[in-house]
């Protein structure tokens, strides 16, 4: 018996290791109700211990490399490469001013929305507190979209917290260690996020495919879904706050499952650059009210809104004054109630032709002058007659004010 173990010890070690790992897989993998491509992501204590050890080995060198790179970049950017800094600052200040004004204009809508939500007993959750973190490593596998950040439970991070950038959502915290954490990206095959199409309001679950594209899986085919439509978080997954940008629809493909005819997968082009992540924000708290920082920003925006509103009012007054001085719109020789703009009997403003130097019978108003017994009508009367059919030789010709000093020519036989 001893010779058997000695003789086949290599194969026995191989088989033992394989069996142990297969049993380990069987213990870990639990199918969920979401379908054949989903696994329960909750790790057991033993598995979590292995992940903790692996992370403890890999993270310190990664942090060291990242700190060195960050230090070199900081030195370069803050002490050497300072070209266009002032110009950039000015442009950023303009952007801040513009955004503050926009924020102030949206503030009233937000407050009204909160009041309405309170009436409906529905409370919107706002991003209340975030922790900025740096991405320091990845999973190292092209089949796994997981990366490591340099903040962990020491900074209040917990599993299932949302990870975002200003461009859009990134993923959620999967594993938390004391000084690092693993983030599962939205384009991983085992991820899941509730999303909604902005225009069609179709809801679905977002997860990744094998080549790292996020897609909304298993929704009913709908002709209204078109490439370019925006996709937002739906807020129903209790991880991502509602309304955060996810991306835009890139294309629509058929559901590859053989027994799901009529269902489609909507491939999304993510709003955030998932392949080139550097700094991310972890949402550590959401509340039904604005944070103190947000309230300070709003107060600043309100304060800025007053002078800006006064400036806009001054511009409106100046425009009104300029409008009064525009030629043709107001006749200074006429009383205010007979101004062309205010005269309701005059449907259109008539452009008067210049007065003729030598009027003849073709001159507008000449026929009236040649008629015996005709007086010298005033300009408005002439206008009324010109508007009356048969009153002049050429009714279509507008009348002109008559000059009594103008010599009149008798009609030729």
Partner 1 sequence: MNTMSGDFRRDLEIRRYPILVYALTPLVALVLQAWLPRFLAGYAWFDLPLVVTVYFALVQRIPIQGTIMGAGMGLFEDALTGHAIGVNGIAKTVVGFLASSVGTRIDVDNHTIRLGLTFLLSLLSSAIYVAVYRMLLGLRLEWSWVIELIKSVANTLIALVLFPALDRLQIRD
Does 68 sit near partner 1 (CB under 8 A)? no
Give exposure, 225-256, as e/b (b: 16+ Cβ within 10 Å): beeebebbbbbebebbbeebbbbbbbebeebe
The site for partner 1, by CB under 8 A, has a size of: 55
Query: Rounded distance, CA 322 to CA 316, Å?
Result: 10
Stretch that binds partner 1, among 247-255, 269-277, 295-303, 332-340 (CB under 8 A): 269-277
DSSP state of 153: G
Asked if 148 touches partner 1 (CB under 8 A), the answer is yes
User: Is 392 one of the binding residues for partner 1 (CB under 8 A)?
Assistant: no
Which range binds partner 1 by CB under 8 A, 270-278, 281-289, 361-369, 388-396?
270-278
Instruction: Please identify which residue in 91, 142, 302, 313 interacts with partner 1, judged by CB under 8 A.
Output: 142
Residue 33 C-beta: closest distance to partner 1, Å: 15
Contacts 24+ apart (CB under 8 A), 271-276: 271/167, 271/168, 271/169, 271/245, 271/246, 271/247, 272/164, 272/165, 272/167, 272/168, 272/169, 272/170, 272/247, 273/167, 274/145, 274/170, 274/185, 274/186, 274/187, 274/212, 275/212
- Name residue, tokens 């309701």: 344
Cβ neighbors of 404 (< 8 A, separation 6 or more) are 376
Nearer to partner 1, 142 or 302 (CB): 142
The verdict on 9 binding partner 1 (CB under 8 A) reads yes
If binding is defined by CB under 8 A, does position 57 make contact with partner 1? yes
Q: How far is the CB of 295 from partner 1 (least distance, A)?
A: 37
Rounded least distance, CB 65 to partner 1, Å: 6
Instruction: Considering only the stretches 60-68, 86-94, 98-106, 288-296, report the one whose residues sit in contact with partner 1 under the rule CB under 8 A.
Output: 60-68
Closest to partner 1 by CB, 69 vs 115, is 69
Q: Would you count residue 212 as binding partner 1 (CB under 8 A)?
A: yes
Q: Chain centroid to CA 330: how far?
A: 45
**Residue 147 near residue 277, CB atoms below 8 Å:** yes
3-state helix, strand, coil in the chain (%, to 5): 35, 20, 45
CA angle centred on 361, ends 410 and 379, rounded to 5°: 110
Burial (CB count <10 Å: 0-12, 13-18, 19+), residue 346: middle
Which of 86, 87, 141, 351 contacts partner 1 by CB under 8 A?
141
CB of 40 to partner 1, least distance (A): 10
- Residue 137's DSSP bridge partners are 148
12 versus 118: smaller Cβ distance to partner 1: 12
In the shown chain, the binding pattern of residues 155 to 194 toward partner 1, with x for contact by CB under 8 A and - for none, equals: -------------------xx------x-x---xxx----
| 135 touches partner 1 by CB under 8 A | yes
Q: What are residue 75's phi and psi, to 5 degrees? A: -60, -45
DSSP summary character for residue 31: B
Whose Cβ is closer to partner 1: residue 208's or residue 235's? Answer: 208
Of 36 and 344, which CB lies nearer to partner 1 in the complex structure?
36
What character string, x for contact with partner 1 (CB under 8 A) and - otherwise, covers 10-49? x--xx--xx--xx-xx--xx------xx-x-x-----x--
Q: Which residues bind partner 1 (CB under 8 A)?
A: 9-10, 13-14, 17-18, 21-22, 24-25, 28-29, 36-37, 39, 41, 47, 50-51, 53-55, 57-58, 61-62, 65, 135-144, 146-148, 174-175, 182, 184, 188-190, 209-212, 256, 275-277
């Amino acid at each position: 018996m001893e010779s058997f173990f000695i003789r086949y010890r290599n194969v026995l070690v191989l088989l033992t290791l394989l069996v142990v790992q297969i049993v380990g897989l069987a213990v870990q993998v639990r199918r969920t109700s979401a379908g054949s491509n989903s696994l329960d992501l909750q790790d057991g204590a033993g598995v979590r211990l292995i992940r903790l050890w692996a992370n403890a080995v890999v993270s310190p060198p990664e942090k060291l490399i990242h700190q060195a790179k960050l230090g070199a970049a900081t030195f370069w950017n803050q002490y050497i490469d300072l070209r266009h800094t002032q110009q950039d600052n000015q442009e950023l200040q303009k952007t801040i001013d513009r955004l503050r004004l926009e924020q102030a204009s949206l503030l009233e809508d937000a407050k009204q929305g909160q009041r309405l939500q309170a009436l409906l007993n529905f409370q919107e959750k706002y991003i209340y507190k975030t922790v900025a973190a740096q991405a320091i490593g990845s999973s190292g596998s092209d089949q796994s979209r997981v990366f490591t950040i340099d903040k962990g439970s020491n900074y209040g991070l917990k599993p299932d917290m949302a990870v975002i950038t200003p461009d859009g959502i990134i993923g959620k915290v999967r594993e938390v260690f004391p000084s690092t954490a693993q983030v599962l990206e939205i384009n991983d095959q085992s991820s899941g996020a509730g999303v909604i199409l902005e225009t069609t309001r179709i809801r679905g679950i977002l997860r990744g495919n094998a080549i790292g594209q996020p897609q909304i899986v298993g929704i009913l085919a709908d002709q209204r879904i078109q490439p370019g439509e925006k996709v937002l978080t739906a807020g129903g997954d209790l991880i991502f706050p509602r309304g955060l940008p996810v991306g835009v629809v890139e294309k629509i493909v058929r559901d590859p499952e053989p027994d799901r005819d009529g269902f489609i997968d909507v491939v999304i082009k993510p709003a955030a650059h998932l392949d080139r992540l550097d700094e991310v924000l972890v949402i550590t708290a959401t509340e039904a009210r604005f944070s103190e920082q947000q309230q300070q920003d709003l107060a600043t925006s309100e304060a800025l809104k007053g002078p800006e509103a006064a400036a806009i009012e001054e511009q409106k007054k100046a425009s009104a004054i300029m409008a009064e001085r525009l030629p043709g719109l107001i006749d200074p020789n006429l009383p205010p109630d007979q101004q062309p703009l205010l005269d309701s009997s005059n449907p259109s403003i008539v452009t008067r032709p210049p007065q003729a130097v030598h009027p003849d019978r073709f001159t507008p108003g000449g026929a009236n002058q040649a008629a015996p017994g005709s007086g010298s009508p005033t300009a408005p009367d002439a206008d009324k007659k010109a508007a009356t059919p048969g009153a002049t030789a050429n009714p279509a010709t507008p009348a002109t004010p008559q000059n009594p000093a103008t010599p009149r020519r008798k009609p030729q036989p």
